[in-house]
Amino acid sequence: MKSPFAHFTLIAACLVLAPMAARAADSDADSESESVSKAAPKSPPVAEKREHSVTHHGITLTDPYAWLRDQSYPTVDDKDVLDYLNAENAWFEARMAPHKALTEDLFKEMRARIKEDDSTVPQKDGDWLYWSEFEEGAQYRKWYRKPASGGDPVLLLDENAMAEGLEYFRLGALSVSKSGRYLAYSTDTNGSERFTARIKDLETGDLLADEIPETLSGLIWLAGDSMIAYGKVDDQWRVNNVRLHTIGTPAAEDVEVFKEEDVTFRVGAGLSAQDDWLIISTGDNETSEVRLVRADDPTGEQILVKPRRKGVEYDVDLRDGVIYVHTNDNHVNFRLATASLDNPGEWATVIGGADDFYLTGVSLFKDFYVVEGREEGLDQIEIRSYDNPERSTYITFPEASYVTGLSNNPEYDMRKLRLSYESMVTPNSVYDYDVGSGKLELLKQQEIPSGYDASLYTTERVMIDARDGTKVPVSVFYRKDRDQMNGGPGGPLHLYAYGAYGYAIPPGFSTTRLSLVDRGFAYAIAHIRGGDDLGRRWYLQGKAFERRNTFNDFVDSARGLIKLGYTSQGKVTASGGSAGGELMGAVINQAPDLWGAIVAHVPFVDVINTMLDDTLPLTPGEWQEWGNPITDKEAFAYMLSYSPYDQVVAKDYPPMLVTAGLNDPRVTYWEPAKWVAKLRDVKTDSNELLLKTNMGAGHGGKSGRWNSLHETAEEVAFILWQMGLAGE
C-alpha cells in the first residue's frame, strides 16, 4: 500500500459488517427521523399488498411488496414508501422505549472501554512521520504529520470540522504526494459511497480548486505529483475505468486511460513496490486481468501481463523489472511465480501451491519479500530472501488462535516491519518486527480505560461435524466463571458468521462483545464455508450451486455447540450483516426454533429478484458469486430454493431486529423492508419483529464512532431483552 495512511478502497463486492465491533453512536440519537410521529404507535405497521408478478423460465413469482422499491431510485421520494419506513421506525422506537435505560447503560459501558483521546502509532514515510488521533469526546479523527528529523506536529485534516452540520460523514481515500507537498482525499456525506475528491496544498494549507466528483477508489499520485489516477463510479455504482486528473485542470478534462467493457468486471489500480509502475487490475469474483504502465508516463503504452482466462485469478507487483505473480492458475490455494517484462505471460514458479497452505498475498521490499497466508485457518507471516529461495523465517506468536498480518509499511526499504496482532482474548496490538535480529517489539496495545483482565477469559477452537461430515471450525470466547452466571452451564451463546465472497472472519478482539460475555454469554464465530478461512476451496464450497453448505454449516455449528454443552436449545442468538444477513434469513427458514433472537444488518434477502435485475448496481458483478438466474434456468431454480424472502412461509419465527440504510447502494433498502413486511403478514408467532432504517446513511449504518456505538448498544439491548436478561 503506497500511502502513509492505511486508507480503504471500496472495490470489494460486499461490505462485511464486523461481529459486534465498535460500529458506534451518540446517546442522543434516539429518533431516526423528524417525520416519525410523536405519538407512540400501538401496533406494528401493516404494509399494503399490491399485485405484482413476473415470469422467468416458466415460473411466475408474485411479489406484493415490490412497490416498496421507489421507481425514482436512487432518489427515494415516494410518499407511500417513506411513510411505511417511518412507521416501521416509529414502531422500533416504541418497542425499544422501555429498554432505553438499558441501551444507555450499555452505551456508557461500551464507551468506557474506548480510550477517547487515542492515537495510532506514528509511521515514517519519506521525510515525515504520519499518524491520526481521536480527541476526547470527538466523533472523528484528526490526521497529523511531523518531520522525521524532529519538529512540531502539523494538522493535515480534521474530520470533525469537515463533518460539522452533516448527518453523515465518511473519509475515503487519503494519499500524500511523493514530494510530501499535496494531500488528496475523498469524502462521502450521505452514505451512498459516491465520494468527492479534493486536494490540499500542505505548504500553504489551502484547498486547490480541483474537485473530482463521483469517485470510488484510491487516489494515486503519478508523474512527479502532477497527476492523480482514480476510478469514477457510473450510474450503476460500478467502477469500470482508470482516469487521470492533472492538477490545476477541471475534472471534465480528465483522461480515461483504461475502460472495461465487461459489465461484470470491476477496475482498480495501485502502485508497484518501487512506485515506478501503475498497476491496473480488472476482474470479477473468479477471473482477473492486469496491465502495467510507467508511473512517470501514465498515458504511455500499457503492457498486458496475461489475457483473462475464466477461473484464473492473479495479481502482480514488480521489483527491479521482475514481475511477481500471485495466482491460482494451477492450484486452488495459489502459487507465487515470476516473469519478465519482455515476456510477462510466461510464469516460473517460486513457491508452488499447496493443499495445507493458503497463500493469500505477497509484499515486496528492497532486501526481502513477505509471504502471508493461512495454515489450518491460522494466519502465517513468512520472510523470504530473493537470493536464496530456500531461506525463510516465520514470525511466531504464543497463542493457539490469533489474527496477525502486515500493517502499514509504506517504504520500500523497510528494516522493521509494522505488524498487527490480536486474539479473542488479547486486545489489538501493534508490533515492529526487526527483520535482521528477528526481535518483536510491542509498540502499543489497545487500552481499555474501564479495565480489562485477560486472565478472566478464555478462548477455544472446536471442530463441529456438519451434516455432510465436513468439520467446521468454531472460535468460542467466554468468561472462565461463566458456569456461575445465568443459571450455570448451557447458558446463552451468541453466534456470528458471514460466509461469502471468500472473506474469512478472523477470531479477533472486540470491546463491545464484552457486554454480552460479562453477562454470561459465550460468543462464537463459526468459520463456515463461503469464507476462505480454511483455504480457497473452503470458499468455493459455499458459493453458487454449493451455497446451501453455508447455511447448513451455521445451523449445524449451533446444534454442535448445544451438544457440546456451550449452550442449549432456544438460548442461541445470532447475527450477520449483508451477505451474512442473507445467512440469517436462510437459517430462520431452515431451523426457526433453534434461535432465541436474530439480528440481521442490511440483509441481502431478496436474492432472486435482485439477481434478476441487471440494472441494479451490484447485480452483473455478482453473477459469478451466486449464479445468473436470467440466463441459467438451473441457477434460477437453485437460488429460488433458498432466497430468504421467497422462502418465508406461515410458521413461527424467532424474535428479530432488522436494519437497513436508505442510501445503501450494496443492499438496497427495500430488501429488508419487503422481508419484514412479508414476515409480518404470514408468521404465526407473536415474537418481536423490528425494522430500523437509517434515513440518512448507507450500508455501514451511522457514521461517527459514538453514533455507531449507540446502534451496537441497541443491538445488545434487543438481544438481552429477548433472552430475558434486560433486568428491568
Q: Is 557 a catalytic residue?
A: no
**Residue 499 is placed in which grid cell?**
460466509
Closest CA to 314 of 294, 329, 331: 329
Q: Across-strand partners of 266?
A: 283
Q: Is 57 a catalytic residue?
A: no
Q: Edge-to-edge strands of the sheet including 142-147?
A: 123-125, 128-133, 142-147, 154-158
Catalytic residue among 578, 643, 703, 708: 578
Report d(CA 329, CA 308) in Å as an integer. 11
Closest CA to 720 of 516, 561, 575, 577: 516
Report d(CA 279, CA 269) in Å as an integer. 5
Supply the DSSP string of 39-95, one letter for each residue.
SPPSS---PPP---EEEETTEEEE-TTGGGS-TTTTS---HHHHHHHHHHHHHHHHH
Q: What is the DSSP letter of 483?
A: G
Q: What is the DSSP letter of 308?
A: -
Q: What is the DSSP letter of 710?
A: H
Q: What is the DSSP letter of 399?
A: S
Rounded alpha-carbon distances, angstroms, from residue 23 to 39, 137, 289, 706? 30, 16, 35, 8
Element (H, E) at 607: helix 607-611
Q: What is the DSSP letter of 635?
A: H
> What does the buried/exposed string (b/e) look like for 148-159 if buried means 16 or more CB atoms within 10 Å of the residue's CB?
eeeeeeeebbbb
Catalytic residue among 99, 664, 703, 708: 664
Q: Which amino acid is at 457?
A: Y
Dump strand ranges (E) for 549-615.
572-577, 595-601
Report d(CA 244, CA 257) in Å as an integer. 7
CB contact at 8 A, 526 and 553: yes
Closest CA to 557 of 547, 545, 567: 567
> What does the buried/exposed string (b/e) look like for 668-680 if buried means 16 or more CB atoms within 10 Å of the residue's CB?
bbbbbbbbbbbbb
Closest CA to 598 of 691, 503, 477: 691
Cα atoms in the 13 Å half-sphere on the side-chain side of 57: 15
Q: Which amino acid is at 187?
A: T
Catalytic residue among 99, 245, 699, 710: 699
Report d(CA 583, CA 574) in Å as an integer. 10
Q: Which amino acid is at 668?
A: T
Q: Is 188 a catalytic residue?
A: no
- Annotated catalytic residues are 578, 664, 699
